[in-house]
Structure 1
Amino acid sequence: MIWLFLKEHAQWFLFYVLSLISLNGLLVLDSGFYNVSILYLNSVYSVLFFFFIGWRFLKDWSYLKRVENQSFEDLDRMQSPYMSHLVERFQREYAQQTNELNQMKIQLLEERDDLLAWVHEVKTPLTAMKIMLEQMEVGKLQTRLEHEWLRLYMLVDQQLHQTRLQTMEQDNRLERVELRKVIANEIRSLKAWCMEKGIGFEVEELELEIVTDTKWLSFILRQILSNAVKYSHANSEVHITMSQQQGNWALHIRDCGIGIAPEDLPRIFRKSYTGSVGRESTTATGMGLYLAQNAATKLGIKLLVNSKVDEGSTVTLVFPKQNEYMKLYGM
């Protein structure tokens, strides 16, 4: 309180020092004051000043104590005219900023709804294209077209989940999920791409049920598996295994691909970060792992990545125990 008071009224002390210098200069230079005691005048002046400072300190201290014990409604009656003017100015500025912020929020929500509507509209012709591709004669052209269709579908799917990610808590449904079925569905969706590159999957027994949100878990696995296929060497395998880590089940997805440079590893979950490998490809967006990490965090899943250049990468999903899910969502 004392230090705050000194900072608030520093100009008073400066005025006191300057006044004292002026007074002593006048006493020394003016011959009419030769018989006046300089020490006496300085003492009287200083005592009066510090009496005033003490009175002012007690008044400010009492005011702050009353402010701390009063409600916001009572503070208006305790303000000085200057303080009331400042408060009114701040209130007008705050109201203006709040109004602008609300307008921006409304605009953002409208843009998000428009984007969601656009994504759903795009999915309709994509579904029609998929049906036509399935009716085509099997061959290299069909495989190539299915691969390009899959790339387009993945981009639309990424955009859809990126838009929904901010409100993910409102779009959650926790249920018991058979991990094997979810992984099988995602592998099946990558069939055309895998056939084109000669990529195979070696999956161990995954007879495990976990409590999570099926849709968002599928999205996370989709990003990881598509990266595994994209960066794997041709005619190689992706290995999917399970283990236990400190009582938690962990899912490991290991590819035999180009790997990730050590300097890129700490930054792979950053938004739009493509790394040294991604810069060589025009198809890399740097959004897959960023979105997967954000969705996993909201589901209580830990996402870990280990990688060595030219040896491949291993992505690990550590699932929380059921009671940890209950705490996470207040169930």
Structure 2
Amino acid sequence: MKFKDFLKDQLGLLVFDLTFLFVTISIIVLSPINEPLFDIIFYITLLNLTLLLIYIFISYFRKLKFFNLLDNGLISSNLNNLSLLKNTNEENLYLSIIKNYQNQYETMANENFNKFEENTEIMSMWVHDIKMPISIIKLIIEQNQSSYCEKVLDEVDNEVMRIENAVERVLYLSRLEDFHKDFLVQEVNLEKTVREVIRKYSKYFIAKKIKLELSNLNYIVLSDKKWLLFIFDQLINNSLKYLNTQGNISIIGENSKGYISIKIKDTGCGIKTEDLNRIFNKGFTGNNGRNNSKSTGLGLYLVKELCNKLDHRISVNSIYNEFTEFTINLKQNI
């Protein structure tokens, strides 16, 4: 609290004191005593102003100390120490109101946290429950491959994979807040990780006749394999989603100053300049998403959040109707 602001709050007291001093001096001056009383007026004025200044400064520093303790108590969520001070009735009233609001806030926060934990647990159970029928459907498709219904089965398989990817995004989104509970830094082979994702989408590459280029990926980096696999999965899936038939996808690694840069580039529809700064925002689909009902705006948001938590850096470069290139920088050592 600034001294100037404190004086504004004490304006009523100052006006009353100076008015009372003026009235006292006026009475002395207008009294019928013939002798001059300038010495008395001077001493009265000096005494009054001295006592006023002492009161103002003591009040200011006392209130300043109270507000500092109050501020520290709010930050540390502990207002009990303030109760030990010799507070004025006004300060005790403020303290009582603040404690009441703090208790209400803590109760609401705990209730919301418990609801969040409960919803997260329900979400995880639902994801695991729905994974079972997905696996069964995929198994049925594999066991009933035949030439006369091959096209139908491929379409069903594509839709099942879309469901599986959506379920995975929901699962990873629910785990994002508890990332530290499911996190293991280890040496990860980038080439094996990328090829694992490529195998998952091999049917898409073949069906769309997409040319794939893999180059210089045989590096070992420090990361969490499961989360890194999900990051590559989302980026490659994103490229396939917006890539036309006979397009190109290149995944190239570069070694630079203790970092391994992985560039994932596709010759798809690209991203408009005005959308580039927002593609990692939660729920943002942009121009491409509005033209493609398959977009949810969660994939790239999760990629960005996971990269931040894994201490990886991700950036994007794109020219609309030409290409899109994502670059991930990963550390080789701690």
TM-score, scaled relative to structure 2: 0.84
Report the secondary structure of 1:279's partner residue. Answer: helix
Q: Contact (CA 8 Å) 2:211, 2:247: kept in 1 or not?
A: yes
Aligned match of 2:126 = 118
Measured at CA, do residues 34 and 251 of structure 1 come closer, stay the same or move farther in structure 2, by a change above 3 Å? same
Q: Is 1:254 aligned to residue 262 of structure 2?
A: no
Aligned match of 1:267 = 278
Aligned match of 1:328 = none
Report the secondary structure of 1:240's partner residue. Answer: strand
1:89 to 87, 92, 97: 97
Q: Take 1:228 and 1:143, find their aligned partners in 2: how far apart are those partners? A: 20
Q: Give the superposition deviation at 1:54.
A: 1.8
Measured at CA, do residues 149 and 200 of structure 1 come closer, stay the same or move farther in structure 2, by a change above 3 Å? farther
Aligned match of 2:77 = none
Which is further off, 146-155 or 75-84? 75-84
AA aligned to 2:56 is: F
Aligned match of 1:329 = none
AA aligned to 2:12 is: Q
Q: Contact (CA 8 Å) 1:174, 1:211: kept in 2 or not?
A: yes
Aligned match of 2:4 = 3
Q: Give the superposition deviation at 1:64.
A: 6.1
Q: Is 1:56 aligned to residue 74 of structure 2?
A: no
Q: Is 1:191 aligned to residue 209 of structure 2?
A: no
Q: Take 1:314 and 1:128, find their aligned partners in 2: how far apart are those partners? A: 36
Aligned match of 1:327 = none
Aligned match of 1:147 = 158
Report matched runs for 1:17-32 at 5 Å: 23=23
Report the secondary structure of 1:263's partner residue. Answer: helix
Measured at CA, do residues 225 and 74 of structure 1 come closer, stay the same or move farther in structure 2, by a change above 3 Å? closer
Aligned match of 1:107 = 115
Aligned match of 2:137 = 129
Q: Contact (CA 8 Å) 1:20, 1:42: kept in 2 or not?
A: no
Aligned match of 1:317 = 328
Q: Contact (CA 8 Å) 1:183, 1:221: kept in 2 or not?
A: yes
AA aligned to 2:88 is: S
Q: Contact (CA 8 Å) 1:241, 1:251: kept in 2 or not?
A: yes
Report the secondary structure of 1:244's partner residue. Answer: strand
Q: Take 1:62 and 1:268, find their aligned partners in 2: how far apart are those partners? A: 51
Which is further off, 273-282 or 46-55? 46-55
AA aligned to 1:212 is: S
Report matched runs for 1:186-265 at 5 Å: 186-265=197-276
AA aligned to 1:12 is: L
Q: Take 1:205 and 1:137, find their aligned partners in 2: how far apart are those partners? A: 39
AA aligned to 1:162 is: L
Report the secondary structure of 2:297's partner residue. Answer: coil
Q: Give the superposition deviation at 1:311.
A: 1.2
Percent identity reads 24
Which is further off, 294-303 or 42-51? 42-51
Q: Take 1:8 and 1:184, find their aligned partners in 2: how far apart are those partners? A: 71
Report the secondary structure of 2:270's partner residue. Answer: coil
Report the secondary structure of 2:217's partner residue. Answer: coil
TM-score, scaled relative to structure 1: 0.85
Q: Contact (CA 8 Å) 1:302, 1:318: kept in 2 or not?
A: yes
Q: Contact (CA 8 Å) 2:317, 2:325: kept in 1 or not?
A: yes
Q: Take 1:217 and 1:66, find their aligned partners in 2: how far apart are those partners? A: 51
Q: Give the superposition deviation at 1:107.
A: 0.8
Q: Contact (CA 8 Å) 1:239, 1:254: kept in 2 or not?
A: yes
Q: Take 1:287 and 1:174, find their aligned partners in 2: how far apart are those partners? A: 24
Measured at CA, do residues 112 and 48 of structure 1 come closer, stay the same or move farther in structure 2, by a change above 3 Å? same
1:274-311 CA deviation, whole Å, 9 max, x = no partner? Answer: 11111111111111111100001100111111111121
Report the secondary structure of 2:273's partner residue. Answer: coil
Report the secondary structure of 2:222's partner residue. Answer: strand
Which residues of structure 2 form unaligned runs of 5+?
Answer: 74-79
Which residues of structure 1 form unaligned runs of 5+?
Answer: 324-331
Q: Contact (CA 8 Å) 1:262, 1:308: kept in 2 or not?
A: yes
AA aligned to 1:78 is: K
